[in-house]
Every structure is written in structure tokens, then in C-alpha cells.
Amino acid sequence: MKKCVIAGAGDTGDSLPVYEPGAFYIAADAGLLTMRQAGIAPDLLIGDFDSLGDALPEGIPVITLPVEKDVTDTDAAAAEGIRRGCTDFTFYGVLGGRPDHSLANLSLLARLSQQGYGAKAYGAGFEITAITNGRLLFPAGRKGAAAVFSWTDESSGVTIEGFKYTLHNGKLRSNFALGACNSFTGKEAFVSVKNGTLLVMAAVSQ
């Protein structure tokens, strides 16, 4: 799998992009500042630059988007990653700040998962992974808060094991937060779903 790392200008919490050889790095508009904070020179800068401004850096390929468009800069960055053959996406700085942007980025995670891509985001102290008709494993020793939400109207065949509150072949619905306020127990844990898309939220391990 070819990995794509995309940085936005939102809250990163204690999580910044980490350099991985072979990964493709995209800064979405002022996400360039997030990349710089991590000491990474992105392979591509994309956006309408309403937040970064006109002082674009030299030496980095740039795709300039119109201000009036149907997608966010982050969404456009993911589309460019797909165009370049990436299949596994990790986002930083795409949560916090404006709630409409945070919700749009969670929607992007879910859509990527539904299209068969790996999709994960870090921000506000959490790691959020979208899974569709699949399974997500956490190794033993994980601590902290966790939550599982259904993005689809209904997700069936949901199993949550190794957490304080468990569920066996149950259902989660998008309009009822049954999976909120859970936590790891230190045991190996996993979340699986037979039909539907889940957003699995886990506190970032310190």
C-alpha cells in the first residue's frame, strides 16, 4: 500500500506528522505550517490559500484551487493522493477549530473507507479510524478513552472486545451514541463490523 500523509491547519494535539520513507506528503493550504512544525518538506502544496496567503514557498510543487469550489482543500488533497496511486491515508491537523470543517473531514474519512482506502486522522488528542465491513485491532497495553460511532444510518454485526464496555454482534445507529465514553482495559482490543461504516476514536497513547 502506498501511504499518503495530509496535513491541515487544525488542531494537532500532541500528534504531528512523522516522516516515513516512501510516503507521499501533501500540505493542504496552511497545513504547510503543520508540516514545517514537524520538520517535513511536503511533496505537494494544494489549496485556495485563503489561510496561508500569497507568500507561497519555493521548491514545492503547488496546485492552486479556486476559492469558490465544491470541495474542501483537504478533500482535494485526498483526491490528488488517489490520483497518484495512494491507498492508505493519514491526516493531521484536520480537526478542531471550525466545526463544519471537522465534520467535513470526518465525512471524508468515512467516504475513503467506503471506497476501500485506509483512512485515519489525528487531532485533539485522538486517533480516529474509519472502518467499513472490517476489523480494527489494538495491541495489549493501550490505555485511555475510546469510542465507537456509526457513520452509516445503521451498522450491524458490531463487536467491541477488550474495552470496558463490550458489544457482541450488535447494532449501532448514527442518531444514538451508544458507543461513546468507553475506554481501553490494557488487554488486546478490537472493533469489527459486518455491515456499515464506523468511526473508531482512541486517545493517543503517550
pLDDT of residue 193: 98
Question: 124, 140, 167: which is the final residue of a domain?
Answer: 124
Q: Kindly state whether residues 100 and 170 are assigned to the same domain.
A: no
* % pLDDT > 70, the chain: 98
Asked if pLDDT for residue 21 goes beyond 70, the answer is yes
CATH code of the domain covering residue 16: 3.40.50.10240
pLDDT of residue 75: 95
Beta pairing class for 154-161 and 189-192:
antiparallel
Average pLDDT, the chain: 92
Q: Which three cell numbers stand for residue 167?
A: 458489544
pLDDT of residue 71: 87
Q: Kindly state whether residues 149 and 93 are assigned to the same domain.
A: no
Asked if pLDDT for residue 112 goes beyond 70, the answer is yes
Query: What confidence category does residue 54 fall into, taking pLDDT thresholds of 50, 70 and 90?
Result: low
Q: How far apart are CA 23 and CA 202, in angstroms?
A: 23
Q: Are the CB atoms for 153 and 206 separated by under 8 Å?
A: no
Q: Kindly state whether residues 76 and 147 are assigned to the same domain.
A: no
Question: 124, 151, 169: which is the final residue of a domain?
Answer: 124
- Give me the number of domains the chain comprises: 2
Pairwise pLDDT comparison (2 vs 66), residue with the higher score: 2
Predicted structure pTM score: 0.92
The neighbouring-strand residues paired with 186 are none
Beta strands in the chain (DSSP E): 3-7, 24-28, 44-47, 62-64, 88-92, 118-123, 126-132, 135-138, 145-150, 154-161, 167-173, 182-183, 189-192, 197-203
Q: Which three cell numbers stand for residue 160?
A: 467491541
CATH code of the domain covering residue 196: 2.60.120.320
pLDDT tens digits, one per residue of 154-188: 999 999 999 999 999 999 999 999 999 999 999 99
DSSP 100-156: HHHHHHHHHHHHHHHTT-EEEEEETTEEEEEEESSEEEE-TT--SEEEEEESSSEEE
Question: 64, 98, 124: which is the final residue of a domain?
Answer: 124
pLDDT of residue 194: 98
Residue 102 lies in domain: 3-124
pLDDT tens digits, one per residue of 120-159: 999 888 999 999 999 999 999 999 999 999 999 999 999 9
Which strands make up the sheet holding 154-161, listed edge to edge?
A: 135-138, 189-192, 154-161, 167-173
Q: How far apart are CA 90 and CA 128, in angstroms?
A: 10
Query: What confidence category does residue 53 fall into, taking pLDDT thresholds of 50, 70 and 90?
Result: low
Q: Kindly state whether residues 48 and 113 are assigned to the same domain.
A: yes
Length of the chain: 206
